[in-house]
Structure 1
Amino acid sequence: MSLKPSVNKNDHIQGNANAELVIVEYGDYQCPYCGAAYPVLKELMDEFGNQVQFVFRNFPLSEMHQYARPAAIAAEAANLQGKFWEMHDAIYENQQYLNKDLLQEIAEKLNLNINQFKNDIESSELAEKVDSDFESGIISGVNGTPSFFVNGKKFNGGATDLLELVRENVIN
């Protein structure tokens, strides 16, 4: 399966925006497997961030994870204040405590404008962004989280496999 749509200006991009190696993760903030993948992906970006473009798309499995969607919307709200990755990281780093209060606490710790944050998390635009990411995942063949795409092709493996692949290809 291939990635649809391809990476674009609506995506959250980290690393080198001009890198030849593009990794897209479809993730759920409450998914334990995404939580386990998070430190591995951090390591990958610490090692190869200048050679990799990393993209995160929301894929909240709301039926299983009651806080996945509110967390995705909170990250999108933080994005409106220029702090998407800080919120993304803080949610994964505190995943075991995830609830609505935690999202508010993180917003405060990140010094977000709390009134704006509260208004933004209620906005239909952010809900639509999360839904649009989710739908793109469905179209791209995502059937669980985390799901990775490397240069537009579905990668059948976990974050550790991905790190090994990048190490082999970037170092050699």
Structure 2
Amino acid sequence: MSLMWRLLSISVALSLSLSAATDKDVIKFVKRGLSQNPDLKVYDVKIIEKQPVRRLKGWDAYIIAFNIGIKRGDSEQNLSQRDTIFVKDRFVAPDLVDIKTNRSLKERIVLSLDKSFYDEKHHIFGNKDAKHKLVVFSDPLCPFCREVVPELFEVAKKYPDIFALYYYHLPIQSLHPASVPLAKAIIYLKKQGKKDIIEKIYKTEFNYEEHDESKVLEELDKKLGVKLTTKQINQPWVLQELNEDRKKSQYLMIHGTPTLFVDGKYDPKREAYKKFIPKNKKEVKSKK
């Protein structure tokens, strides 16, 4: 159960207005619930984004940001967090779970992104002024990423006036330790104008369980002929870019990889871009 829901008073769990809830009702509900706790001081509650829940008519996901103060003896700890609640008519729930798959729908709620994510640092293939913008957060050793992301590379290279692809690093160290030094290597090599190396890495098998960065780089050299040192890939600017990408993934509430956005909207099935792929040469010209 989420932090915000644990802090809310159960006594107001169904205290939305009798008619369909408005955005103001949702904010009041959260504020009222938090205020029931004598150890909390509520400074601000706001709705960051409201999204209809896919395939569940009438349900909306509200992404809420809240700033509170928590009493710790004679001191106060300030806390700023975000959470998601689900609302339909006058009912609210902390999560919705698919009874067939046992999957939490909260984990599938991701914020939309703005144009600031279309920057030079992360642009990799396609023309920057292309009609459709693709943004992917990926781990180079994630099995699902290795299926999806190479297709994004190909489509952006084949139709550069239709697709611009922006790549963000999100190596999952707990699952694929070797992906961290590989992500840093990609950042370093892209800066040197060798962005094609990312395609080769995605098509090459690595020992994903390797923790020793020097051994990962030795494997990179042996298999792809790329010579790098741990000093090169651990320069402050490399680490900064990787850390910034991680922070952006947290801001967007990304829970896994690959996470794809098409024209700013989260695409859970990673297939929405395919409808823009031309079927013939005549259609290529019309889609530009």
TM-score (norm 1): 0.81
SS of 1:26's equivalent? strand
Q: Show the 5 A alignment for 1:1-172.
A: 1-3=111-113, 5-83=116-194, 85-96=195-206, 100=216, 101-105=218-222, 109=225, 114=228, 118-158=230-270, 161-167=271-277
Check 1:43–1:11 CA distance in 2 against 1; reply closer, same or farther (3 A cut).
closer
Q: How far is the alpha carbon of 1:97 from its aligned partner?
A: 5.1
Deviation of 1:106 after TM superposition, in Å, equals: 5.8
Q: Which moved more, 1:40-49 or 1:15-24?
A: 40-49
Structure 1 residue 49, shift from structure 2 partner: 2.4
Residues 41, 163 of structure 1: 8 Å contact kept: no
SS at match of 2:172: coil
8 Å CA contact 1:35, 1:95 repeated in 2: no
Deviation at 1:8, TM superposition (A): 1.7
Deviation at 1:56, TM superposition (A): 0.6
Residues 43 and 149 (structure 1 numbering): CA distance in 2 closer, same or farther, change over 3 Å? same
**Shift of the alpha carbon at 1:162?**
3.7
Unaligned runs of 5+ in 2: 1-110, 211-215
Q: Quote how far apart the aligned CAs of 1:96 are.
A: 4.5
Higher strand share: 2
CA contact (8 A) 2:131 2:161 kept: no
- Contact 2:126/2:165 (<8 A) preserved: yes
Distance 2:206 2:223 in 1: 14
Give the paired residue count. 164
Q: CA RMSD in A?
A: 2.5
Give the secondary structure class of the aligned counterpart of 1:55. strand
CA contact (8 A) 1:27 1:145 kept: yes
TM-score (norm 2): 0.51
Larger radius of gyration: 2
* C-alpha distance in structure 2 between counterparts of 1:106 and 1:18, whole Å: 35
Q: Distance in 1 between matches of 2:126 and 2:250?
A: 25
SS of match in other structure, 1:95:
coil
User: Which gives a bigger RCO, structure 1 or 2 (Cα 8 Å, sep 6+)?
Assistant: 1
Q: What are structure 1's unaligned runs of at least 5 residues? A: none
Separation of aligned partners in 2, 1:82 and 1:25: 20
Map Cα deviations across residues 64-120 of structure 1 (whole Å, 9 max, x no partner): 11111111000011123211x22211110103555602223466x35x6x5xx5532
Query: How high is the sequence identity, in percent, across the aligned residues?
Result: 21
Three-state SS of the structure 1 residue aligned to 2:177 is: coil
The answer to which of 6-15 and 133-142 deviates more is: 6-15
Query: 1 or 2, which has the higher helix percentage?
Result: 1
How far off its partner does 1:163 sit?
4.6
CA contact (8 A) 1:73 1:121 kept: yes
- Farther off after superposition, 96-105 or 126-135: 96-105
